[in-house]
Amino acid sequence: MRIFSEELVSEAARVNHVADLSHATIGETLLVAQYLEQKTGIPFIRMDQGSPGLPANRYGIEAEKRALDTGIGSQYPAAAGIKELKEAASEFVKAFIDIDITPRACLPTVGSVAGSFGSFIACCQRKSYPQMGKVLFIDPGFPIQKSQLRILGIEWKEFDIFPYRGQALREKLEEELKDGDVAAIIYSNPNNPAWISLEEEELQIIGELATRHDVIVLEDLAYFAMDSRRDLSHPYEAPFVRTVARYTDNYILMLSASKIFSYAGQRIALVCISDKLFDRHFPALAERYHDSGVFGPTFIASIQYMITSGCTATTQYGYAEMLRLSCEGKINFVEDTREYAIRARKMKKIFCDNGFTITYPEDVHEPIGDGFFFSLSYPGMSGSELVRELIHYGVSSINLDTTGSHQPGVRACTSRMREELYSVLEERMRQFREDHK
């Protein structure tokens, strides 16, 4: 038996101006869940928004306090970032990815959302003709990034990687890149929403083809080192975080503090640009901005500064301190975030024991790990049907088709799960299975 009636769910959607619950955005789903919870007092299992569910790192907080006490609040922050953060970022990339990027090419942004926004502009405008400046999404992916392209008027291509894992990815990418109209490729690794992780052979394929076709790879590392299958917690020791940067010089890495340090409220991230790309000259950029046309300086002064006017100075000091202490082994952010993997394991078992399956169950050579997200399907149900039906049982999620996936299912986020809710989830999913035999 459903917990929330059809009439009540429809009322929640109507009051919050949600036209179609089956394809609702994350924000719309959140509003419906909050409405139902507040009106009835019945707790929701919140699997919609990927907001951190752990306390913010205390070292960052204390560093911000110290910085503010020095009086820096009266000064505008430098667009390229404070020296301390740039140096700590360069060292962090070396310690955990084993890639060399100089401090000058490590740039703070107001979250990875601002980082991708500026990167899309720089990558696509470097092309002399707009029709040659498309973005290719290796989906499923983060829906907001396509919304950014709508704002910018940039066209994109996309494909669901589900049937193209391993060496099959090469042929698919060749097909997408052959016309020469792609300026950038973007993906997240580990993946939001499916938690798949690209393996070395796939990253090598992407890197080789990016070089051959002069495409810039935007690698979103929002869930940095959160692949629970390998211990990535030791700085300067293998195994290192996998990256396309080993296979091409055409890359931009995005490193956010939101998840690894639970620092989402402070809106801080890094865009780490390959040194060779940072120094490349593009006539189209020079003509448009009347500057040097060199990628890095143009990105900083002519593009990113116009979006954010620099990042909050105190937050930069906080991020720098967390990165520095991680390199010294005094912060184990990998262990700190392992709680998400524990939650995922418990949640997956409850769902799978009650007839659900994992939509994206494996990478090329092994089952996917446990972490911040996972994907769910139910026999005989489309993603649209499942996301709407789960709401009637007090479980909020988002339809995978809003992420570019072609598979029938929903995205589940572990961040808001609490210990006292496991028994609630188990009871509701038992009832769900009973009602949907």
Amino acid found at 155: E
Q: Which pLDDT belongs to residue 103? A: 98
What is the per-residue DSSP string for 219-247? EE-TTTT--TTS---STTSSSPPP-GGGT
Nearest-angstrom CA–CA distance, 67 and 321: 11
Q: Which pLDDT belongs to residue 396? A: 94
Q: Count Cβ neighbours within 10 Å for each residue of 50-80 and write b for 16 or more, e otherwise.
A: bbbbeebbebbbebbeebeeeebeeeebbbb
**What token pair was written down for 354?**
């009650």
Q: Which pLDDT belongs to residue 284? A: 96
Tell me 330's DSSP state.
S
Considering the entire predicted model, what is its pTM?
0.95
Tens of pLDDT along 403-433?
999 999 999 999 999 999 999 999 999 999 9
User: Domains in the chain, please, with CATH?
Assistant: 6-54+335-435 (3.90.1150.100), 58-327 (3.40.640.10)
Distances (CA, A) of 67 to 64, 74, 157, 334: 5, 12, 44, 26
Q: Which pLDDT belongs to residue 329? A: 97
Nearest-angstrom CA–CA distance, 280 and 251: 12
Nearest-angstrom CA–CA distance, 211 and 202: 14
Q: Which pLDDT belongs to residue 129? A: 81
Q: Which residues of the chain have pLDDT under 70?
A: none
Q: How many of the other CB atoms lie within 10 Å of CB of 229? A: 14
Tens of pLDDT along 51-75?
898 999 999 999 999 999 999 999 9
**What token pair was written down for 173?**
């990418």
Q: Which pLDDT belongs to residue 266? A: 96
Check: CB of residue 56 under 8 Å from CB of residue 331. Answer: no
Nearest-angstrom CA–CA distance, 333 and 269: 16
Nearest-angstrom CA–CA distance, 114 and 119: 8
Task: Return the closest-CA partner of residue 161 out of 134, 131, 185.
Answer: 185
